[in-house]
Amino acid sequence: MLTDTKVRQAKSTEKSYKIYDADGLYIEIAPTGAKKWRWKYRWQGKEKRLGLGIYPDVSLKLAREKRDALRKQLASGEDPSLIRKKERIARSEGSNTFQYMAEEWFLEYSNVWSASHQQTTRKRLDTYLLPEIGDKLMGDITPFIILDFLKRLEKRGLLETANRLLGICSMVFRRAVALGKVQSNPCRDLKGALAPARAKHHAALTTKDGARSVMRSIEAYQGSASVRAAVRFTALTFVRQQELRFAKWDEILWEDAMWLIPAERMKGRREHIVPLSRQAIKILHDLLPLTGSKTYIFVGSKGTPISVNTVRCALRSMGFSNDEMTAHGFRSMASTLLNEMGFRSDVIERQLAHVEGNTVRAAYNRAEYLTERREMMQKWADFLDSLL
């Protein structure tokens, strides 16, 4: 267990580090020398963390008292994190502060986001926006206040962060305008005021020779049956890893040779159809004796879905560097080569599940171009076979 002397004498290093006390309480020492109390706990099987204040403002004794109070909330069957959020909103109720409106916006919309998007957005709010403008009244926040803050981030090289924060700010203000809480959205006047974030490109081999190299390496790969199947299936279907990892046996429509991915697992939150080639069906048939009794198709040694890095690590073991080929790179490879093979771009884009700009039309187009997509997916599988 910690002592006050040990906390006081803890020195900063180049990287943040933690010193643990007991029952999930620890203090995090930042490179700047700041010492932040945090409490780690589990809620419904998920690990969560809460900040308890900064030392020495919050002493070791007070941090333990806060931890014990939160443990009582947890023992009573309530999530301390959710309680804190509700209390935070209640404290600013009626004040029309940015924090109040941002918390309302987050609670209203985050339930349809993926877990990773929820976590990232929450972190951006708590780390940047709320400490900077959280206590300001919505009507007092001018374009200059927002731009000055974001320009400081820009100077630190946080271009993408600055642009993302501007987007979050704008969504909070748009909702506030719609509710009559504020007259205008100050972010609207900042369009083009920030340097654009540098686009991130997923490494991919997009030539025929590059694809041949990848497919021959996959053919020779000696990993486990589930991992070999996952890599081959990725090449054949070019789906995102989130969609692949959590693929379930009951999503496979065997008679129709299709894989129906539910909306909640799709990036665009729309149900998606993947026509399955003969080669893809064979992979599934070969896996049935191994994982057919389980919920998920591609599982690791513990019976849980393969990890987000499984396909990437397999590619690394085949000799492809991060700058040559990634799991996401199969999408770029398919897009480039299918265009060269003469398939219509609309058909390719629909199979890639890229979000349709017309939301009314998009609601009805899960099966759009399905006949052409069936033909394309079979010819793609045959093309990959021909490279061997």
Question: Which SS3 state, helix, strand or coil, does residue 388 take?
Answer: coil
Cβ contacts of 75 within 8 Å, gap of 6 or more: none
**292 by DSSP, 3-state: which?**
coil
Integer Cα distance of 220 and 118 in angstroms: 39
Q: Cβ of 218: how many Cβ atoms within 10 Å?
A: 19
Residue 73 to residue 83: CA distance in whole angstroms: 9
309 burial via Cβ count (<10 Å: 0-12, 13-18, 19+): exposed
Catalytic annotation, residues: 240, 267, 328, 331, 354, 364
> Helices H, strands E: what count in the chain?
17, 7
Q: How far does the chain reach from its first CA to its final CA, in angstroms?
A: 60
What does the alpha-carbon distance between residue 172 and residue 182 come to, in Å, rounded to a whole number?
A: 11
- Nearest by Cα to 262 from 247, 280, 281, 240: 247
CA distance 131 to 143: 17
- Identify the CA nearest to 208 among candidates 102, 314, 341, 88: 341
Q: Specify which residues 42 forms β-bridges with.
A: 47
For residues 227 and 306, the answer to whether their CB atoms sit within 8 Å is yes
**Burial letters 27-66, b for 16+ CB under 10 A, else e:** bbbeeeeebbbbbebeeeeeebebebeebeebebeebbeb
Contact indicator for 369, 346 with CB cutoff of 8 Å: yes
| CA distance linking residue 241 with residue 14, whole number of Å | 34
- Assigned token pair, 254: 């065997």
Orientation of helix 159-178 relative to helix 143-155, angle to 10°: 160
